[in-house]
């Protein structure tokens, strides 16, 4: 693509010549600029000194140096020679502003460095080291001198009066700094700030910032902090300012306990005032006019030597400062006898009582849960008993299971028509043995006592045949009688032999 374009649009010989010439000039200029070696930029401070270095580099040794000059170009002014060196005629300092403040460090054309002492902010600008040479002409190099100035930082409070308009309450300033400083405010009072700058004649800048808010009495004594940041400072400058808000005094009276009885001595009232500036005068009066004879006013104290009917009045305390006056009153009531004041329970006792009550409730709850748990685990008797052994044919042998350890028993032969029951004693009646329900001993027939050990079979048969159903021995309607089983043992019956 590029070859096709070059073939269609060939470069003319004249244009080609101009390009070559421009390239040669740029190379020659670059080589010439490199012959004078200087520092591109320097920073310095007022009242200090700075060295401006300059050196001529001649690679071939065919350049002849005739003279070197230092030319100063201020930021907003014209160029002017401040120092000249000639190998035959010596040194010259034509600018009066630099006289006695500039000097050559070496008497040499190859190294004509200079030193400027007692620097001023106005010395900032461009300094050019220029050689007059043969045969190439003048060669030069330029150094930019930047003058820095540490700002003079300050902050102050502005005393204001409480009001409803936003006013300046604090000021912060970073004066005559270069470059310009930055001011910030750290505050929790909810105000705002504004910043302005002023340029000095020597290139310095003064920065001012004002903090504003609507002042209230509660703002008095609160802090706002000014923070100044600038290049010449290692760390920001921080200065806290306490606000000063003036307001009329506020007054209150303390000390009255509603127990001024006749004959009481050394009763005291205190007049408490708060204001800025502090109150200058405190005056006690009574609503009835002058203070009673038994009352003495001492500053903010009103001392009653002896309580009587004369102090049954209203006392007034008035406080003044330069912004105004405020007053407060209290009415004292004299009683005939001393009122017994029952001290209330202390905080510790109340807390202890609450903790004790909570502990007692916790114990009750734990006990209830424990009892329910034991009931659920089967601590009590079961609700239903298993059926007793069933009698087979006409002869049945009842098994006796005593509540205690097993003992040897003697089997007595039964006579025809008789059934023998042997018991170990009457079983205690419980809720399960409710006679009204017809289910004694957990649903089993009632246990016979010793007088009913021998029952005639014929009598039982005749009794049933007569239609009397009150007896539970009828096998068609009820279960056969069960053996006597003690509480706490299993209700499973022993094996029956027929």
Instruction: Please report which confidence band the pLDDT of residue 201 belongs to, taking 50, 70 and 90 as the band edges.
Output: confident
The residue with greater pLDDT, 422 or 49, is 49
- Helix/strand/coil (H/E/C) assignment for every residue in 241-263: EECCEEEEEEEEEECCCCCEECC
Burial of 86 (0-12, 13-18, 19+ CB in 10 A): middle
Query: What are the structural domain ranges in the chain?
Result: 36-147, 152-243, 248-332
> Can you tell me the mean pLDDT for 168-177?
96
Instruction: Please report which confidence band the pLDDT of residue 420 belongs to, taking 50, 70 and 90 as the band edges.
Output: very low
Nearest Cα to 129, choosing from 106, 112, 146?
Answer: 112
pLDDT at 239: 97
How much is the pTM? Answer: 0.54
Q: Which of 263-272, 294-303, 416-425 is predicted with the least confidence, judged by mean pLDDT? A: 416-425
pLDDT at 230: 96
Q: Which of 117-126, 277-286, 379-388, 487-496 is predicted with the least confidence, judged by mean pLDDT? A: 487-496
Q: What is the DSSP string of 345-382?
A: PPHHHHHHHHHHHHHHHHHHHHHHHHHHHHHHTT-SPP
Query: Which CATH class for the 152-243 domain?
Result: mainly beta
Q: Is 125 left (phi over 0), alpha (psi -120 to 50) or beta?
A: left
d(CA 391, CA 481): 9
> Can you tell me the mean pLDDT for 222-241?
96
Q: Which of 63-77, 263-277, 311-325, 412-426 is predicted with the least confidence, judged by mean pLDDT? A: 412-426
Summarize pLDDT for 19-76 with one digit per residue, the tens: 334 343 333 344 444 589 999 999 999 999 999 999 988 766 778 899 999 999 987 7
pLDDT at 357: 87
Question: By percentage, how much of the chain surpasses pLDDT 90?
Answer: 50
> Can you tell me the mean pLDDT for 382-395?
50
Tokens of 306: 């002896």
The residue with greater pLDDT, 117 or 478, is 117
Cis status of the peptide bond prior to 117, with omega within 30 of 0: no
CATH number belonging to domain 248-332 = 2.60.40.10
Write out the E strands in 79-204.
Answer: 80-86, 90-92, 102-104, 114-116, 125-134, 137-147, 152-157, 160-161, 167-177, 182-187, 192-199
pLDDT at 289: 82
> Quick check: 288 and 313 in contact, CB under 8 A?
yes
SS3 at position 5: helix
> Quick check: 261 and 335 in contact, CB under 8 A?
yes
Question: By percentage, how much of the chain surpasses pLDDT 70?
Answer: 66
> Can you tell me the mean pLDDT for 342-365?
77
Question: Topology of 36-147 in CATH?
Answer: Immunoglobulin-like (2.60.40)
Is the pLDDT at 232 greater than 80? The verdict is: yes
């Amino acid at each position: 693509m590029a070859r096709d374009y070059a073939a269609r649009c060939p470069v003319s010989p004249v244009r080609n010549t101009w390009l070559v010439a421009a390239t040669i000039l740029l190379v020659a200029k670059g080589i010439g600029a490199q012959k004078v070696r200087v520092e591109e930029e320097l920073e310095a401070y007022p009242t200090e000194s700075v060295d401006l270095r300059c050196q001529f580099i001649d690679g071939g040794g065919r350049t002849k140096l005739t003279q070197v000059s230092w030319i100063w170009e201020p930021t907003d002014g014209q160029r002017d020679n401040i120092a000249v060196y000639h190998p035959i005629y010596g040194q010259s300092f034509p600018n009066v502003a630099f006289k006695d403040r500039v000097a050559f460090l070496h008497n040499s054309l190859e190294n004509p460095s200079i030193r400027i002492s007692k620097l001023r902010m106005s010395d900032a600008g461009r300094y050019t080291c220029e050689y007059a040479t043969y045969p190439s002409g003048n060669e030069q190099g330029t150094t930019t001198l930047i003058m820095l100035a540490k700002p003079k930082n300050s902050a102050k409070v502005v005393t204001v009066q409480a009001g409803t308009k936003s006013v300046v309450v604090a000021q912060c300033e970073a004066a005559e700094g270069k470059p310009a400083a930055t001011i910030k405010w750290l505050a929790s009072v909810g105000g705002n700030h504004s910043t302005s700058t002023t340029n000095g004649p020597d290139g310095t800048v003064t920065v001012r910032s004002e903090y504003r808010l609507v002042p209230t009495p509660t703002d008095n004594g609160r802090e706002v902090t000014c923070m100044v940041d600038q290049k010449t400072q290692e760390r920001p400058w921080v200065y806290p300012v306490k606000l000063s808000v003036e307001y009329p005094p506020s007054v209150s009276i303390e000390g009255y306990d509603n127990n001024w009885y006749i004959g009481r001595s050394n009763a005291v009232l205190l007049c408490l005032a708060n204001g800025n500036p502090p109150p200058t005068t405190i005056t006690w009066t009574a609503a009835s006019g002058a203070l009673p004879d038994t009352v003495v006013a001492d500053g903010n104290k009103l001392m009653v030597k002896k309580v009587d009917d004369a102090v049954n009045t209203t006392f007034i305390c008035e406080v003044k400062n330069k912004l105004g006056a405020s007053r407060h009153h209290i009415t004292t009531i004299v009683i005939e006898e001393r009122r017994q004041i029952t001290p209330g329970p202390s905080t510790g006792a109340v807390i202890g009582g609450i903790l004790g009550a909570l502990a007692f409730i916790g114990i009750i709850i734990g006990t209830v849960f424990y009892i329910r748990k034991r009931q659920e685990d089967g601590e009590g008797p079961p609700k239903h008993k298993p059926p007793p052994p069933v009698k087979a044919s006409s002869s049945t042998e009842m098994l006796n299971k005593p509540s205690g350890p097993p003992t040897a028993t003697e089997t007595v032969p039964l006579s025809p028509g008789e059934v023998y029951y042997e018991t170990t004693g009457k079983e205690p009646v419980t809720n399960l043995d409710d006679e009204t329900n017809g289910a004694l001993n957990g649903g089993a027939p009632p246990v016979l006592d010793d007088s009913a050990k021998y029952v005639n079979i014929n009598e039982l048969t005749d009794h049933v045949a007569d239609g009397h159903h009150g007896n539970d021995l009828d096998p068609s309607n009820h279960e056969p009688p069960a053996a006597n089983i003690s509480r706490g043992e299993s209700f499973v019956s022993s094996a029956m032999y027929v």
